[in-house]
Amino acid sequence: MARHEGRGMASVNYPIGMNLGGDPSQALIHSNPEGKFTVALSAIDLGQGMKQVSRQIAAETLGVPVEDVFVDTADSDTGPHDMGSFASRGTHRMGNAIIVAAREARGVLLEAAAEELEVNAADLVTDGRGNIHVRGAPSKTITVKATAQAAQFKQGKTIAGRGIFLIPLSAVDAETGEMNPNTAFAHACLVADVSVDDETGEVEVLRMTSAYELGRVINPRMVEQQLVGGAWMGISHALYETPEPYYPSIEHGPRDFNEYLMPGPGEIAPYHVTVLERPAPDGPFGGKGPGEMCANPVLPAVANAVYNAVGVRVDELPITPEKILRAIRANGGVKPGPRRGGPVNWR
């Protein structure tokens, strides 16, 4: 028995959003009489942090404190229309819609403040701390709260905004079949180091190292947690998970979480991520989105590392011990590839 180490690499150019009949998102924003804003969306936050990112984008555009913005994703029946939280489109599509809505709401907010201060709305600026004042004359000031109350009870104005961001359907060229379904691309490269046991066929992911280019990172800690959690899921898809291990046969399929294999906390692979920021011209504040690409490059990188370690190409997921042992036998034994790269020195 011997354990063989191998290194594999994969890179990904990942399109944000989709284009099946166009890809619209809407956002509605309104202020209550206290000067607190609600952003209504129909796409939901399923843990990736969309609410927080939406809140930051809205607050930054409105010019109010982030604490004064709430995001309501309660009901897709009554909320503004959205295609949904998938295709890694949340930050990019909803963020852009929120900016449009927030600009309109900010315009009304400043008009209402201008009426109270008896100045031109074009001369007003916000300080991001809940105040509006005349540019260059900070003493000529009114709070967002007082403005919202005046709009509601004196002026009869709704401080509100509507936003939509639409990627229209891309036509298909009749002759070439060419179309452009994508707008923003994010990029990543990931290196996986594995150890393969040639007696049991077991693969251990020793460590992973990656670089992700995601446009502007709107919330760094949330991006990091998404990348770390997504990489775990990538390992799980690469080596463990399947509902039908002998597809298309359903034989030996898992019936519960005892049999549906996933790596547990004991199988955590050390993971080092570097995030690069190159703001996207069409992204909200330059943001694109990590989303599904957190997991994607892990699968081919692990498959390549297994090939490098023992010389077998397993091209069906997950790469189970059985598949590796059968492939090694068919290949006439273990045939390790050349060791790639220098010593691992990132920790």
Partner 1 sequence: MAKTPVQFRLNGSDRAAFVDAPETLLNTLRRGLGEFAPKYGCGQGTCGVCTVLVDGEPVLSCLTLSVACEGRHVETASGLADGPELHPLQAAFMDHFAAQCGFCTPGMLTAARALLAKNLSPTRDEVIEAISGNICRCTGYEPIVTAILAAANAPGARRA
Residues 168-227 that bind partner 1 (CB under 8 A): 221-222, 224-226
Single out the residue of 164, 189, 211, 233 in contact with partner 1 (rule: CB under 8 A). 233
Contacts for 251 with CB less than 8 Å, ≥ 6 apart: none
H or E stretch at 115: helix 95-117
Report the residue number, 161 or 230, with the smaller CB distance to partner 1: 230
Beta-bridge mates of residue 7 = 193
Report the residue number, 26 or 226, with the smaller CB distance to partner 1: 226
Q: How many CB atoms lie within 10 A of CB 325?
A: 18
Token reading at 261: 């294999």
Residue 205's closest CA among 291, 325, 304?
A: 304
CB of 29 to partner 1, least distance (A): 25
Going by the DSSP 8-state scheme, the letter that residue 262 receives in this structure is -
Which segment (9-17, 40-48, 102-110, 137-145) binds partner 1 by CB under 8 A?
A: 40-48
Interaction pattern, residues 246-285, with partner 1; x per rule: CB under 8 A: ----------xxx---x-xxx-x--x--------------
CB of 290 to partner 1, least distance (A): 12
Strands 203-213 and 271-276: parallel
Single out the residue of 2, 137, 228, 250 in contact with partner 1 (rule: CB under 8 A). 228
Report the residue number, 85 or 320, with the smaller CB distance to partner 1: 85
Which segment (11-19, 120-128, 228-236, 336-344) binds partner 1 by CB under 8 A?
A: 228-236
| 100, 163, 182 from 18: Cα distances, Å | 20, 19, 7
Strands 37-40 and 69-72: parallel
Going by the DSSP 8-state scheme, the letter that residue 240 receives in this structure is T
Q: Is 125 in the site for partner 1 (CB under 8 A)?
A: no
Token reading at 248: 């298309």
Q: How many CB atoms lie within 10 A of CB 154?
A: 11
**Binding stretches for partner 1 (CB under 8 A):** 46-49, 221-222, 224-226, 228-233, 256-258, 262, 264-266, 268, 271
